[in-house]
Amino acid sequence: MGMSNLTRLPEFILLGLSSHPEDQKPLFALFLIMYLVTLMGNLLIILAIRSDPQLQNPMYFFLSILSFADICYTTVIVPKMLVNFLSEKKTISYAECLVQMYFFLVFGNMDSYLLAAMAIDRYVAICNPLHYVTVMNHGHCMLLLAFSTAFSCLHSLLHVLLVNRLTFCASNVIHHFFCDVNPVLKLACSSTSVNEVVAMTEGLVSVMAPFVCIVISYLRILIVVLKIPSAAGKCKAFSTCSSHVTVVTLFYGSICCVYFQPLSSYTVKDRIVTVNYTVLTPMLNPFIYSLRNKGMKQGLEKLISRIKFQMNRLSTTNSNKIRGA
């Protein structure tokens, strides 16, 4: 294919995590299990929060939205990856690639801004508890959510439009398991300097702004907690933040490894690291929050008890019907 007669490839080939045929079925089984666990875990978190009156506060509101975003985040990537594991033709159309890239960026950015909103919530709860109800009221929470969604959509649209203006020729093989920005840019024949400048300026700001907000919030929390005289009080304050800090570390640690580097240095190792925040972190989030958060653990126990009760009731009703017949 020559550059002179081709400006837009009709489709791309997703190389995936491995090109060896013997690896495809084990990888399919592994990622199918991880995807189902992600769906089930995050759905349980959402249902537990929605059904428990004691979990109707800003922290759990943002956690339920985060769980929803994680479901969408993995659904943008994993189903197509599962299909490709069992398919000889691992193709994705140009339009589908851009759509996947757009929604990947949308939900990825939403995750980072929701994590920042949760850090603000913890800061207000610990450092300014008397004004917590006023500051973190429903209207302010909805504004934070609206900003997170709107900014994520605009940010993603900008980067996808910049990719769409590029010329692609020669190779159409994406060395990745989905249409991420950097692997697609490496296939471009035209200059990607504008894309790289925007990624290292606007992109850097959009990712680092919520991270800086999280860091400042926890530094302020740390200062306040260290002033608490009792050890029990300090432990209680830290315990309310531990699960959130763990998720932030997993999420931002892997993102920094992949994206804060020149395009030319993007390697196979980055594909493996990408699995961490696209598949592994959304799967682990429900476990982290349920195991390290007392309120969430109790909410899940209540939900599971209600489900068991309904199932036993349904089973008893069916048995009575069979006997009556």
Per the structure, the count of domains in the chain is 1
Region 215-224: mean pLDDT is 91
Strand partners, 14: 174
292: number of Cβ within 10 Å: 18
Longest CA–CA span in the chain (Å) reads: 79
Provide the mean pLDDT of the chain: 86
Please report whether residue 175 resides in a domain. Answer: yes
Q: Is residue 253 part of a domain?
A: yes
Residue 248 domain-assigned (yes or no): yes
pLDDT tens, position by position, 57-79: 999 999 999 999 999 999 999 99
- For every residue of 185-222, DSSP letters joined together read HTTBSS--HHHHHHIIIIIHHHHHHHHHHHHHHHHHHH
Residue 303 covered by a domain:
no
Domain membership of residue 78 as a residue range: 24-296
CB 211 within 8 A of CB 112: yes
CATH assignment at residue 134: 1.20.1070.10
What pLDDT, on a 0 to 100 scale, did the predictor assign at position 264? 58
317 within some domain: no
Q: What is the pLDDT of residues 98-114, one digit of tens each?
A: 999 999 999 999 999 99
Residue 206 lies in a domain: yes
231 in a structural domain = yes
Mean pLDDT within 271-284? 86
Order of strands, edge to edge, in the sheet holding 11-14? 91-93, 11-14, 173-174
Q: Is residue 304 part of a domain?
A: no
